[in-house]
Amino acid sequence: MTKILVLFNLKPDTSVDDYETWARTVDIPTVNGLGSIEMFEVYKTTGLLFSDDKPPYQYFETLDILDMDKFGAEAGSETMQKIAAEFQAMTDDLVFISTEKL
């Protein structure tokens, strides 16, 4: 299994309420419905441990992918292309990190 982390901020013209409503009602259920995904979750950052500094990212996502080839095919679907476009219209400073468990 591959875990992907996506770190991001919202664009200045995107409201927190608009993004979070979209994430809960569109993004999370749609991505979790893909056959290649074991689990997709979105987290809002709340602070840095042992620091009063602001976190560098407002949100992050985790995608537990069962089959990368299948995920690639599903990500190319019309539905997922629409989701990706909506996501990119609301977000900035995107960082995608592919990982493997030790």
| pLDDT tens profile 79-99 | 999 999 999 999 999 999 999
CB atoms within 10 A of CB 40: 20
**74 is in which domain, residue-wise?**
2-99
pLDDT in tens, 33-48: 999 999 999 999 999 9
Q: What is the CATH number of the domain that holds 89?
A: 3.30.70.100
Question: One-letter amino acid identity for 47?
Answer: G
Report the alpha-carbon distance of residue 43 to residue 13 in Å, rounded. 20
Distance of CA 36 to the CA centre of its chain: 15
Q: Cα 19 from chain centroid?
A: 12
Band of pLDDT at residue 76, cut at 50, 70 and 90: very high
Contacts for 15 with CB less than 8 Å, ≥ 6 apart: none
Query: At residue 77, does pLDDT exceed 90?
Result: yes
What residues contact residue 74 under an 8 Å CB cut-off, 6+ apart? 34, 35, 36, 80
pLDDT score at 100: 87
pLDDT of residue 101: 87
Q: What is the mean pLDDT of residues 17-30?
A: 98
Residues 64 and 1 sit within 8 Å (Cβ to Cβ): yes
- Please give the tally of structural domains in the chain: 1
